Homo-oligomer: A and B are copies of this chain.
Amino acid sequence: MRKHLIALAALAAPVSAEDKPAPSPQEIVAAAPEADWTAIAASDLLVMDLAPDTRNRPRRVVIQLMPPPFSQGWIGNIRKLASAQWWDGTSVNRVQDNYVVQWGDGEAENKAKAKALPPKLSMVQQSNYTFGPNDSQEVARRRAQMAALAGAEEAIAAVARLGPGPGPEPSKTRSSDPYTKRNLHWSGWPMAIGEFPDDQFWPIHCYAMVGVGRDMPPDTGSGAELYTVIGHAPRHLDRNIALVGRVIEGIEHLSSLPRGTGPLGFYESAEERVAIVSVRLGNEIKADPPLAYEYLSTESKSFAAYAEARANRRDPFFIRPAGGADICNIPVPVRRSSGSR
């Protein structure tokens, strides 16, 4: 008896001509046309190199920063911090199981030892945790784009059902969400939508999302202390902390670190901290071929089919499709691009 596979991919599924298995989500992604992939600008990447591991293997973590209009105050600070090489020599200081990994200045709470921040960082208002009709002109413009997707109840319902699905079978997908009335993927990101007329939008704390550590409110954090999610989506943090991006490569270098044994998972001694060698914007990294990533456009038919298949698994391993999916169980596919474009 072989018992190994609790498989996402059906690696060795028996296939006969008359009984072709339904494609898996990965197979749908692999078959997506090039036009359905959207390039990520190198300037929207944040590249963190940790010290090599105990076997001297490199540990690079690549983060994609969020596009406007989201969190641009903090992201502007992050760009300044990277340009000032501020994180070089700082460390990963906190690893709390099923919650977050946090990095920055390990002495931030000690006024005598804390590392000075670069000048001209913005203090961002709490109102920027969400965006909606009361925000700036740019936000309003972007909101109009989103409203075109999500404005009418029918359109919202269609988006909430994650598209009509790839075939003649009607969608059986539920997307109910205990944290908000509705959610959707928008421009590559998981988003929650509030109730009309206070229908603000805000990003969702899914696995691998990156946020800004902060002190007690009304502080909102500068962006110097960052964290990423390494457990079940801590959605109670939505609208309470700024999200600024997500780890798109190398999260295993953070998620597999030893858990801290102090309160909140902080390392109890400086020796346990993991050194950060450097953090740079992607356009400052020299590599051959150049660092280049792309994501599966969340507005594409391929994404709709992928999302529907995530919610209704029909590949041979499964005996009972769920009929729905948590938005955080539909991670946006990201891959290295060939560099040919």
Contact = CB atoms under 8 A, between A and B. Distances in A.
Interface residues of A, number: 88
A117 B3 CA distance: 12
Given A232-B206, A256-B257, A256-B258, A323 B5 contact: no
Contacts of A241: 6
Interface in A106-127: 108-109, 117, 126
A312 to B, nearest CB: 9
Contacts of A258: 252, 256
Copy count, this protein chain: 2
B176 A4 contact: no
Given A235-B322, A329-B232, A6 B310 contact: no
B264 A9 contact: yes
A104 B3 CA distance: 9
Contacts of A215: 1-5
B3 A213 contact: yes
A224 B263 CA distance: 36
B6 A216 contact: no
A214 B98 contact: no
A309 to B, nearest CB: 10
Nearest to A25: B236
Interface stretch (A135-143, A275-283, A313-321): A313-321
A4 B207 CA distance: 20
A263 B4 CA distance: 11
A188 to B, nearest CB: 18
Contacts of A224: 3
Interface in A76-120: 93-95, 97-100, 102, 104, 108-109, 117
A311 to B, nearest CB: 8
A238 B128 CA distance: 37
A304 interface: no
A22 interface: no
A235 to B, nearest CB: 6
Contacts of A148: none
Given A214-B3, A240-B319, A263 B11 contact: yes
A322 B108 contact: no
A179 to B, nearest CB: 5
Interface in A262-288: 263-264, 266
Given A14-B216, A235-B326, 18 more contacts: A1-B222, A2-B109, A3-B108, A3-B215, A4-B94, A4-B102, A4-B109, A6-B100, A11-B263, A11-B264, A97-B252, A176-B176, A217-B316, A233-B329, A236-B318, A240-B317, A256-B256, A256-B257
5 contacts: A5-B214, A9-B264, A97-B256, A177-B324, A178-B324
